[in-house]
Amino acid sequence: MKKPLASSFLQLLLYMRPFRRIYLSATLYSFLNKLFDLMPEILLGIAVNTVVAREQSWLANLGFCDLKIQLILLGLMTMVAYGLESLSEYLFSIRWWNLAQIVQHNFRMQAFEHVQKSTITSFSKQKTGNLLSILNDDINQLERFLEEGIDKIIEVIGTSIFVGSIFFFLAPQIAIFVVIPIPIIIYSTFRFQKKLSPYYLNIREKAGLVGAFLANSLLGLLATKSLVAEQLEKKKLEKASMAYKDASFNAIRWGALLVPIIRFVILSGILVTLIYGGKLTIEQKLDVGVYSILIFLTQRLLWPFTEIADIMINFQRVMASTQRLLNLFELPTENSPDNIVPIKGRITFDDVSFSYHNHTPSLHNLTFATEPGQHIAFVGATGAGKSTLLHLLLGFYLPTSGKIFFDNKEIRELSLPGLRKQLGFVSQEPFLFEGTIAENISYGYVEATPEQIIEAAKNAAAHEFIMRLPEGYDTIIGERGQNLSGGQKQRLAIARAIVRNPTILILDEATSSVDNATELAIQRSLSKIGQGRTMILIAHRLSMVKHADKIFVLKKGSIAEQGTHEELLQHDNVYANLWKLQMGETLTHPELIID
């Protein structure tokens, strides 16, 4: 839901509360800078008064009767004014820039950490490109606002206060007419602000969609090329980009109208000072020095308001970005106890059912138990519920009904990070990070020694191909492991899972991308490293699971049968027919495996 502009700004101030000493001092230096910046115009008026009035000048009335002394004094005052103006500009620039860097860093880190802690349910509803846009572009918008934009706002406010006060002190009869345009300008600006607010929020949303499309398209570049779909992707990008362009044009069309209107309003104030002030000066009702100061300061009073349109437009952009960023913190996060309980490897599913987003249940009343050190396998056709079961084991989702126990602790009573540290998981599509092979194997277990890394690679049948690479374990594998084959990536993922010596090892189609020889090598390694630890296998290749202590056959989210490889072959049910299909034998009951 769209938040009011003021609400987003107040929430931003609340977030920056720990840094209030920085932004309060920066605000003070900015106001002092605007005050010192007005001094040259005032000194010019004093100089005119000195030249015209001579021995009766303002400075003469203060005791400086000699004209040369007056001019020298004006020169010194001008130098001091410029020096203080330069010093205060340096101080406020350093303060605002420092605050900008602190806020953007902390905001980005906290937002990233929050996304990492978000539930898989909430994360799966987000577009990756949109998240990237928020974590990068929107935070950069906020950074630029703190570096430059906020000082522009202070300039308008500070100049209005200081110059307005001078006007009312020197010539209140003129000041009344000069300040009349200010409320008109402010009212017009805020009317436009209300009009522009949804437009700029729409721009940020459209920018997020463009980012989401680009991220998705670049990740699928190989598929695009193989299907010769470059033109299709180009048309999709053109559509998203045109939507962004149209959203920007709608905002610019209204935003560009504000500046000309403000300029004409400002002109009225300048003309009042010029004509009415000149008339009073001719009639000797106004000192020529005062008239000079008013002429110089009229533009300083009103001209900053020509930028108020751009200031408000930038403010709208920043608040739209801030709103999107703050909305990110509303993503639900995983909540689990802090207690880290060592587990021995016993897993129990007690009448567990689960459905995604209140849709058709993916699992129905699953009940089974494994003993520590036991090797069990789950097989079944695509959509049978195998991946869902793994997501429940890893705590990515919690059961819709029923309970999951690790030893005698229900999963809701366990620290999920603490549980996952005791699990080794190899997904069907392993994700490798840009870096060296050694860094990828030790990822998540940075305390791993070189010896442990090499041992894990050997157990995953990866050591030989690693040693054939130019830099061995120090070889850079590129983004997402693009320099490796599918089988090599799979073996590195297995090494990464076992290097931490997990109590429970979970393999989801761990040999789906390797050849038969490598699969045999991995099977031999797993039989060795699986000794004394619970191992859960998910596989389409039944040759990978035939040595499991117990095999569960899933069908439409339920356990259709269970037993050892030999027992299930004798049943001549689903498993037996799947085995025959893979062995090239004649199916006795094809209807069991074909929907």
In a domain, 512, yes or no: no
In a domain, 511, yes or no: no
Cβ atoms of 419 and 343 within 8 Å: the answer is yes
Structure tokens at 338: 């802090």
- Of all residues in the chain, the percent with pLDDT exceeding 70 is 94
Between 300 and 15, the higher pLDDT residue:
15
Least confident among 26-30, 111-115, 479-483, 496-500: 479-483
My answer on whether 28 and 128 are in the same domain is yes
In a domain, 335, yes or no: no
Under DSSP, is residue 350 helix (H, G, I), strand (E, B) or coil?
strand
My answer on whether 369 and 231 are in the same domain is no
Please give the pLDDT value at position 226: 56
Which residue, among 402, 337, 412, 413, has the nearest Cα to 368 in the 3D structure?
Answer: 402
My answer on whether 259 and 351 are in the same domain is no
Section 442-455 average pLDDT: 88
In a domain, 231, yes or no: yes
Please give the pLDDT value at position 551: 92
My answer on whether 181 and 223 are in the same domain is yes
Cβ atoms of 23 and 16 within 8 Å: the answer is yes
Please give the pLDDT value at position 251: 76
Task: Give the chain's domain count.
Answer: 2
- pLDDT tens-digit profile of 134-176? 888 888 888 888 888 888 888 888 888 888 888 888 888 888 8
In a domain, 433, yes or no: no
Section 223-248 average pLDDT: 79
My answer on whether 32 and 102 are in the same domain is yes
The length of the chain in residues reads 595
Structure tokens at 255: 């935003």
- pLDDT at position 110 over 70: yes
My answer on whether 165 and 232 are in the same domain is yes
My answer on whether 58 and 117 are in the same domain is yes
My answer on whether 74 and 161 are in the same domain is yes
Structure tokens at 147: 């570096």
The DSSP secondary-structure symbol of 63 reads T
- pLDDT at position 5 over 60: no
My answer on whether 143 and 284 are in the same domain is yes
Section 263-284 average pLDDT: 82
Which residue, among 436, 496, 432, 497, has the nearest Cα to 472 in the 3D structure?
Answer: 436
My answer on whether 388 and 281 are in the same domain is no
In a domain, 89, yes or no: yes
- pLDDT at position 594 over 70: no
In a domain, 214, yes or no: yes
The CATH number that applies at residue 231 is 1.20.1560.10
Section 57-83 average pLDDT: 80
- pLDDT at position 369 over 80: yes
Between 23 and 523, the higher pLDDT residue:
23
My answer on whether 46 and 105 are in the same domain is yes
My answer on whether 237 and 355 are in the same domain is no
Least confident among 19-28, 239-248, 309-318, 325-334: 309-318
Please give the pLDDT value at position 225: 67
Which residue, among 456, 461, 467, 553, has the nearest Cα to 505 in the 3D structure?
Answer: 456
Please give the pLDDT value at position 227: 58
Section 8-13 average pLDDT: 81
In a domain, 444, yes or no: no
- pLDDT tens-digit profile of 15-46? 888 888 998 999 999 999 988 888 887 877 77
Predicted confidence band of residue 1 (pLDDT cuts 50, 70, 90): very low
Domain boundary among 270, 297, 328: 328
Look up the domain containing 359 and give its range: 347-422+542-588
Q: Whole-prediction pTM value?
A: 0.73
CA distance 139 to 50: 53
* Count of beta carbons in the 10 Å neighbourhood of residue 74: 17
Q: What does residue 504 show for φ and ψ, rounded to 5 degrees?
A: -125, 130
Cβ atoms of 286 and 280 within 8 Å: the answer is yes
Written as one string, the DSSP assignment of 167-185 is: HHHH-HHHHHHHHTHHHHH
The chain-wide mean pLDDT, for the chain, equals: 83
Domain boundary among 278, 297, 328: 328
Section 283-293 average pLDDT: 82
Which residue, among 469, 499, 462, has the nearest Cα to 483 in the 3D structure?
Answer: 469
The CATH number that applies at residue 352 is 3.40.50.300
